[in-house]
Amino acid sequence: MTEVKKTYKHYVDGKFVRSESGKVYAIDLKKEKYEIPLTSKKDLRDAVTSSKAGFAKWNSLTMYNKSQILYRLSEMIEGNKESYIALLQQHGLTKNDSKNDVEDAVNTIIWYAGIVDKWEQLTGNLNPVAGEYFNISHQEPIGVTFSLSSDDISLNSLVKSFLPAMSVGCSVISFTNQNAVLALKLSEDINNSDFPSGSLNILTGNFENIVEDVGAHVEIRLAAIYSNISNDLLETLDVKGSDSVKRIVNLPSDEGLGSIIPFVETKTVWHPKGQ
């Protein structure tokens, strides 16, 4: 019997969609060659529109709820563990490395699921001002985030490129090139984990094609670059981003408290004390 081969599509606004351009690029695995949608400028703009609405939805959920949705993602991956291991092996990893990577990814997701309702207790505080005022600094998510994930063939690297931002309440457009098959497979489990539509969009393609638009789009508040990109690309992103004072984080820390700090804004509220 002929094996049925899956067509991978972008994951935008809770739907599986092709690039509006109709363009694709090839990822050649051991057994199969996949034609992956190549993100166009219009695809990016559509994703930002969705991500803006997704941010409002994701951010309005309680921390407890967000935490459970992230935990749910780890449950989904655990259930499909063997298929991830097989896919990683298709990319050339050994069985053992593939297994370790999937287990690491599950552990990473559980770490972030667990910090969703705690990080603000670590980053915020009352400020002991010299006067009769209640003064508190707390944090809010920056908003729509673009994340370029690392090209390492790794599920763990992939989830590390969107979990820090998601765990504080940002919506994320996760973009990958070489990890495309893995990312688009992951989007199926994301789709089954109760994320509000648009809170996490997954696009694939060539960053060079959209770098100017990522920099210039004012609705993208932050761009996090987890991949080693050329200096020219980084310069283009920075130059375009400077027009809207965009937050651009090159190679952010991918673990611990330091990994989430770039994605929050500190808000300080004062109120006098009195009778």
Partner 1 sequence: MNNWEYAESIESEKIVKIEKKYGHFINGEFVSPNSKKYLDTISPSSEEVLSSISIGNEKDVDFAVNAAKEGLKQWSKTSPSERSKYLFKLARLIQERSREFAVLESLDGGKPIKESRDFDLPQVAQNFFYYAGWADKIDLAWGSGISKPYGVVGQIIPWNFPLLMLSWKVAPALATGNTVVLKPAETTPLTALLFAELCDEVGLPKGVFNLITGDGTTGSELVNHKDIKKIAFTGSTSVGKYIQKSLAGRDVGLTLELGGKAANIVYNDAALDEAVEGVVNGIFFNQGHVCCAGSRLLVQEDIHDVFINKLEKRMQTLRVGNPLDKNTDIGAINSKDQLDKITDLVNEGVSDGGELFQIECELPKNGFWFKPSLFTGVQANYKIATEEIFGPVLTTLTFRTPDEAVEIANNTEYGLSAGIWTEKGSKILWTADRLDAGVIWANTFNKFDPASPFGGYKESGFGREGGRHGLLSYLKASS
Nearer to partner 1, 92 or 258 (CB): 258
Segment contacting partner 1 (CB under 8 A): 67-75, 150-158, 164-172, 259-267? 259-267
* Nearest partner of 166 among 200, 217, 129, 208, judged by Cα: 200
What tokens appear for 35 in the block? 């034609």
Q: Six-digit token pair at 119?
A: 């990080």
Phi, psi of 226 (to 5 degrees): -95, 0
The contacts of residue 270 (CB under 8 Å, 6+ apart) are 129, 133, 134, 135
Rule CB under 8 A: which of 111-140 touch partner 1? 125, 127-131, 133, 135, 137
Site string for partner 1, 210-229 (x = CB under 8 A): -----------x--------
Closer residue to partner 1 (CB): 35 or 232: 232
Q: What is the DSSP string of 63-80?
A: HHHHHHHHHHHHHHHHHT
Closest approach of partner 1 to the CB of residue 145, in Å: 14
- The runs of H, that is alpha helices, within 91-162 are 95-115, 119-123, 155-160
Is 68 a residue that touches partner 1 (CB under 8 A)?
A: no
Site string for partner 1, 174-213 (x = CB under 8 A): ----------------------------------------
Alpha helices in 118-273 (DSSP H): 119-123, 155-160, 163-168, 180-191, 207-216, 231-242, 257-260
Residues forming contacts to partner 1 in the complex (CB under 8 A) are 125, 127-131, 133, 135, 137, 221, 231-232, 234-239, 241-245, 247, 250, 252-258, 261, 265-272
